[in-house]
Amino acid sequence: MRKIEKTHRRVANINTSSFTPWFQSDGSACGDSFLQLNNKPDGVGFHIYKMEPGTTTEAHEHTGDEEFFVINGELIDNDGTVYREGDLVWLKKGTQHYSYTKTGCVLAVYIETEEKNIEPDAE
């Protein structure tokens, strides 16, 4: 078995690593951030997503499936569905939503492809 080369492994700790602020499409930061080790576009593939209390995501459509695990806190979808610590969630490709948190939350997320921003009232 071959040794794992240093350039073939990245390790970060969600409690001690610096998270990168997430910027909305207008360039503003709204209290969410991410920790991602892969070389994919920001927010694609596997990453840790952190939302400070009171944060709301932009409305978007998934162009591929999304899966996430709520590590801590609580996340609420625009339809009122509440995801709590320990919940494992799958959202099908084509799903349109936005989410918010009153308490703050940390999620382990896998997104297949970049999301497409939409107007909140788009059908």
Q: Please state whether the predicted TM-score (pTM) of the whole model is above 0.85.
A: yes
Residue pair 74/80 in contact by the 8 Å Cβ criterion = no
Beta strand extents in the chain (DSSP E only): 20-23, 29-35, 45-51, 60-61, 66-77, 82-84, 88-91, 96-97, 99-100, 105-111, 116-117
Q: What is the pLDDT along the chain (123 residues), one digit of tens a residue?
A: 999 999 999 999 999 999 999 988 888 888 899 999 999 999 999 999 999 999 999 999 999 999 999 999 999 999 999 999 999 999 999 999 999 999 999 999 999 988 888 887 644
Q: Give the residue extent of every domain in the chain.
A: 29-114
Class of the CATH domain delimited by 29-114: mainly beta
Instruction: Label residue 45 left, alpha or beta by phi (over 0 means left) and psi (-120 to 50 means alpha).
Output: left
